[in-house]
């Protein structure tokens, strides 16, 4: 299985490459990718530098063009595909059918992967994307159980990639409009669920408040870890009880089911986190590289080492991990 790792900047890319990634996925520094934070991502010159570094180490470079184009700015997404083809990107990860059609028609040799934002969950939809746009791989949404993943893998006409570690989302990928309720900007349309311009931090004595577009999202006690504010992971008062109503901060971790994913024929494990630091990328990549190598080369039955799990737990949201939708024992 390939290990596909994130990079929001050149230093993160180097950390991913140096610690064992088989492929690194990045985005242009504009709204064509779903991690469009100020200070993140790559301009054309930086991407050329990134390609050279990756290819020198036999690592592939993937480009996410995975948001949905705005009608008045369609040319911006089209130009992203043109640049990707011109500078030699190994693979474009896309979701919108207009982007897939443009790329497949104009650049038939350009390898295409269906983004998780495409939210394809059955073999018929994968067959549609293969037949019409020639995709070679699909990234599965994080809403399928392990049984559903196994069943889909048996009938899939293309390679499958799944998320192995990183932040979760309560929405079906490609269908998120919850954040736009507060900020007016949806990540699938504008590239980020909590735009920095809408984020305000304010100290009220020993209490730290986080707000989005002046809407109170959370309050943190002194020395309490404060996460970046997103509406779905805020704490709200319901029936006189303040709690995480929609989703608790936690991270997906599939290390324990690695053998089952491999047995199902999953082609690649993807790590979430283009918005995270180079240190995060370095540590997560190293753990997963060691785990995959151990699984592939050891004669022993695979068991995730406690040292790996401890590192991943410290890097997760809320310092806790979950199997998420993969774990549905009633199925």
Kindly report, residue by residue over 264-291, the tens digit of the pLDDT.
999 999 999 998 999 999 999 999 999 9
Give the pLDDT confidence score for residue 145 in this predicted structure.
Answer: 92
Give the pLDDT confidence score for residue 291 in this predicted structure.
Answer: 97
Predicted confidence (pLDDT) at residue 253 exceeds the cutoff of 70: yes
Is-above-0.95 flag for pTM? no
Q: Per the structure block, which two tokens stand in for 282?
A: 């370095």
Is the CB of residue 116 less than 8 Å from the CB of residue 141?
yes
pLDDT digits (tens, 9 = 90+) for 15-57: 999 999 999 999 999 989 888 777 789 999 999 999 999 999 9
Dihedral of alpha carbons 208, 211, 215, 220, sign:
negative
pLDDT digits (tens, 9 = 90+) for 102-140: 999 999 999 999 999 899 999 999 999 999 999 999 999
Local structure of residue 42 (DSSP, 8 states): B
C-alpha distance from residue 223 to each of 77, 88, 124, 257 (Å):
43, 47, 50, 35
Query: What is the rounded CA–CA span in Å between residue 54 and residue 16?
Result: 9
- The three-state secondary structure class of 135 is coil
**C-alpha Rg value of the chain to the nearest Å:** 20
Range in 115-124, 142-151, 162-171, 297-306 with the lowest mean pLDDT:
162-171
Query: Residue 109 CA to chain centroid, in angstroms?
Result: 25
Residue 310 backbone phi and psi in degrees, to 5: -65, -40
Give the pLDDT confidence score for residue 261 in this predicted structure.
Answer: 96
Q: How many CA atoms lie within 13 A of 327 on its CB side?
A: 10
All domains of the chain in start order, with CATH: 2-168+250-326 (3.20.20.70), 180-244 (no CATH)
Computed over every residue of the chain, the mean pLDDT equals 91
Q: In what order do the strands lie in the sheet with 215-220?
A: 199-204, 207-212, 215-220
Q: Residue 300, class by beta-carbon neighbours within 10 Å (0-12 exposed, 13-18 middle, 19+ buried)?
A: exposed
Is the CB of residue 164 less than 8 Å from the CB of residue 158?
no
Average pLDDT over residues 71-90: 95
DSSP codes joined into one string, 207-246: EEEEEETTEEEEEE-TT---PPP-GGG-EEEETTEEEESS
Q: Residue 17, class by beta-carbon neighbours within 10 Å (0-12 exposed, 13-18 middle, 19+ buried)?
A: buried
Dihedral of alpha carbons 148, 153, 159, 162, sign:
positive
DSSP codes joined into one string, 240-289: TEEEESS----EEE-GGGHHHHHHTT--EEEE--TTS-HHHHHHHHHHHH
Beta strands 159-167 and 268-271: pairing type?
parallel
């Amino acid at each position: 299985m390939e290990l596909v790792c994130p990079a929001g900047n050149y230093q993160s890319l180097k950390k991913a490459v140096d610690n064992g990634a088989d492929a690194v996925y990045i985005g242009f520094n504009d709204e064509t990718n779903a991690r469009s934070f100020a200070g993140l991502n790559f301009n054309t010159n930086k991407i050329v530098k990134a390609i050279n570094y990756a290819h020198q180490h036999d690592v592939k470079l993937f480009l996410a063009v995975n948001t949905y184009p705005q009608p008045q700015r369609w040319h911006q997404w089209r130009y992203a595909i043109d640049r990707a083809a011109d500078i030699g990107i190994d693979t474009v990860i896309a979701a919108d059918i207009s982007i897939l059609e443009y790329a497949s028609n104009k650049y038939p040799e350009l390898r295409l992967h269906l983004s998780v934002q495409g939210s394809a969950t059955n073999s018929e939809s994968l067959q549609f994307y293969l037949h019409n746009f020639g995709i070679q791989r699909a990234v599965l949404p994080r809403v399928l159980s392990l049984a559903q993943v196994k069943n889909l893998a048996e009938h899939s006409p293309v390679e499958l990639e799944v998320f192995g570690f990183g932040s979760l989302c309560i929405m079906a990928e490609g269908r998120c409009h919850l954040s736009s309720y507060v900020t007016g900007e949806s990540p699938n349309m504008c590239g980020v669920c909590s735009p920095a311009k809408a984020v305000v931090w304010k100290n009220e004595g020993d209490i730290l408040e986080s707000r989005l577009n002046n809407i109170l999202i959370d309050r943190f006690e002194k020395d309490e870890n404060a996460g970046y504010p997103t509406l779905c992971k805020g704490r709200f008062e319901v029936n006189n009880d303040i709690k995480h109503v929609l989703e608790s901060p936690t991270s997906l971790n599939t290390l324990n089911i690695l053998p089952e994913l491999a047995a199902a024929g999953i082609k690649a494990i993807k790590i979430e986190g283009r918005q995270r630091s180079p240190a995060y990328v370095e540590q997560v990549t190293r753990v997963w590289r060691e785990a995959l190598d151990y699984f592939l080369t050891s004669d022993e039955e695979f068991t995730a080492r406690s040292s790996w799990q401890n590192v991943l737990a410290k890097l997760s949201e809320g310092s806790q991990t979950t199997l998420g939708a993969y774990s549905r024992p009633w199925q």
